[in-house]
Structure 1
Amino acid sequence: MSAIHFFEKGQGQPVILIHGFCEISEMWQDFAEALSSEYRVICPDLPGCGKSPLTLSQNSLEEVAVQLEDWIEEQNIQDPIVIGHSLGGYVTLALLALMGSKLKAVGLFHSTAFADDTDKKGMRDRTVVFLKKHGVDTFVTSFVPPLIPEHKRDDFQAEIAAAIVQAKQSTLDGLIAYTKAMRDREDRFEVFQNFSGPKLMIAGTLDSAVKIDASRKHKVAVTDYHELEGVGHLGMIEQKETCMEILRGFCGKAIG
C-alpha cells in the first residue's frame, strides 16, 4: 500500500490538488470545501511533507510521480484533473510525462514547465547549504513571507503565520531532497504543449519565484491562461475567491 497521506471531499469527477514546496495538503482546505459540491477533490501530502514519509533517500520528481501513480491506482482515481502549485506543478508535469492521456486535464498554479536556469540552480544549491546549517524552522520562517509582495504582507499576517506553521511540518530531509529535485528537473515544456487535454496556467505579475515573463511564454501551450495583477507566488491566499472561481471554471470546461 502507498504511504501517501491525503484528505478528500465530495464526489464526482476527481480533482487532485498538489501542494508546493514548504507546503502541505492542508493549504487546500478552503479550495477543497468550495469545489466539493461538484467534484471529488483529493489533496495528498507529497512524500516527505506533512504526514507522508520520505520513502526514498534522494527524491527525483520522476520517483515522486511513480509513487503518485501507484497511489492514484490504489484509490481508484479515474481520469483525474491534476493541478499543482509551484513544486506541485513540477510534480504534475512529471506525472503527465508518466501517465499522459490517463489524466483528463492539468494545471500549473504559479509554476512553470521550464527547467531551472543557471542562476536558479545556484540558488537551489545555496538553499541546501542553508537548510543543513540552520534547519527547517529558521528556513521556513525566512522563506514564506517573501512569497507575498512586501507591500501586501501586513494585510495577510494571519495567513502568512498559518503558512509558516504548515511549512514547519516539512522534514529536513524532504526539503533538501525536493530542493535538489527541483534543481535537477527536466524541461517539460514540450510534454506540456503536446498534451491534448485542457491546460491551465495561473500566474502572478509580481511572482518572485516564477517570473511573469516566463509564465507568459506558456500562453502558446495552454487552453486557459490567467494573470493575477499585483499578485506574488501565493494567489490562493492573495486572491482566494478569484482563484477558486478560475479552478471551478477550468474543471467545468474540462469535463464538458
Structure 2
Amino acid sequence: MSLLNFFEKGKGQPLVLIHGFCETSRMWDEFAEELSQDFRVICPDLPGCGDSPIEKHHISLEEVAVILEDWMEENAIQNPIVIGHSLGGYVTLALLELMGSKLKGVVLFHSTAFADDVDKKEMRNRTITFLKKNGVEKFVTSFVPPLFPESKREELSKEIDSAIQEAKRCSLEGLIAFSGAMRDRKERLDVLKTFSGPKLLIAGTEDGAVKIQSSRAQKDAFTNYVELEGVGHMGMVESKKETLEIVRDFAKSC
C-alpha cells in the first residue's frame, strides 16, 4: 500500500498536480480549489516532502513513477491529466514513459524534457554537499527567493515567505535524494514526442532554473506551448489568474 499523503477536491476528469523541489502538495491549494469546480483534483506529496515519508537515501525518478502508478491504482485515478511543476515535470515524464496512453494528457510547468548538462549536474552536487553540512532551513531560505524574478521579490514577499515555510516541511533525506534523482535523470524528449495525447509546456521568459532557450528548443514536442513574459520559475504564483485559465482551458480541451 502506498504511503503517499495527498488531498483531493471535486469530481470528474482526474487532474493530478505534482509539486516541485522544495515544495509540497499545498503549493496547489488555490489551483485545486478553482479547478475542482470542473475536475477531480488530486495533489500528492512526493516521498520525503510534506507528510509523505521517504524510505531510502537514494531514489530515482523511475522509482517515483512506479510509486505514483501504484498510488493511482489504489485510489481509482484513471486516465488522468498529469500536471508537474519543475521536478514535478521530470516526474510526470517518467510517469509518461511508464504509463504511456494510460495518461490522458500532460502539462509541464517550468520544466524540461532535457537532462541536466555538466554545469547543472555540478550544481546538484553542490546542493547535496550544502544540505548535508547546513540542513534544510538554511538551504531553503537561500534557495527559494531566486525562483522569483528579482524585480518582483518585494511585491511578492508574502508569497515568498510562505513558500519558504512550506519548503521547510521537506525532509533532509528527501531533498538530498531528489537532488541526486534530478542530477541523474535521462533525457525524455523522445518519450514526449512519442506520446500522441495533448501536451502543454508553460515557460517563463525570466525563469532562472529552466532557461527560456531550453523551453523554446523543445516547444515542437508539445501540442500547446505558452510563454509567460516577465515571469520566472513560479508562474502559478506570479501570474496566478493567467496560468489557472491556461491549465483549465487545456484540461477542458482534453
Same fold (TM over 0.5): yes
Q: How does 1:44-193 map to 2 (within 5 A)?
A: 44-193=44-193
Identity among equivalent pairs (%): 66
Q: What SS does structure 2 have at the residue aligned with 1:162?
A: helix
**Aligned-pair CA distance for 1:217:** 1.4
d(CA) in 2 for partners of 1:63 and 1:23? 19
**Aligned-pair CA distance for 1:210:** 0.1
Runs of 4+ in 1 over 6 A off after TM superposition: none
d(CA) in 1 for partners of 2:224 and 2:253? 10
Show CA shifts across 1:75-123 (max 9, x none): 0001000010000000000000000000000010000000000000010
Question: What TM-score do the two structures reach when normalised by structure 1?
Answer: 0.98
Show CA shifts across 1:55-87 (max 9, x none): 233110000000000000000001000010000
Show CA shifts across 1:146-181 (max 9, x none): 000111100000000000010000000100000000
What is the count of residue pairs matched by the alignment? 254
Q: What SS does structure 1 have at the residue aligned with 2:155?
A: helix
Q: What SS does structure 2 have at the residue aligned with 1:71?
A: helix
Matching residue of 1:211: 211
Matching residue of 2:26: 26
User: For structure 1, which segment, 141-150 or 48-57, has the greater mean C-alpha deviation from structure 2 after superposition?
Assistant: 48-57
**Structure 2 counterpart of 1:177, one-letter code:** A
Matching residue of 1:226: 226
Q: What SS does structure 2 have at the residue aligned with 1:219?
A: helix
**Structure 2 counterpart of 1:227, one-letter code:** E
**Aligned-pair CA distance for 1:219:** 1.5
Contact 2:4/2:47, CA 8 A, preserved across alignment: yes
d(CA) in 1 for partners of 2:47 and 2:171? 10
Matching residue of 2:198: 198
d(CA) in 1 for partners of 2:240 and 2:128? 31
Show CA shifts across 1:232-255 (max 9, x none): 00001100000000000010111x
d(CA) in 2 for partners of 1:57 and 1:118? 23
Alpha-carbon RMSD: 0.5
**Structure 1 counterpart of 2:102, one-letter code:** K
**Structure 1 counterpart of 2:126, one-letter code:** R
**Aligned-pair CA distance for 1:218:** 1.8
**Structure 2 counterpart of 1:195, one-letter code:** F
**Structure 1 counterpart of 2:110, one-letter code:** H
Q: What SS does structure 1 have at the residue aligned with 2:79?
A: coil
Matching residue of 2:39: 39
Q: Unpaired segments of 5 or more residues in structure 1?
A: none
Show CA shifts across 1:162-205 (max 9, x none): 00010000000100000000000010011011100000000000
**Structure 1 counterpart of 2:148, one-letter code:** I
Matching residue of 1:242: 242
Q: What SS does structure 1 have at the residue aligned with 2:131?
A: helix
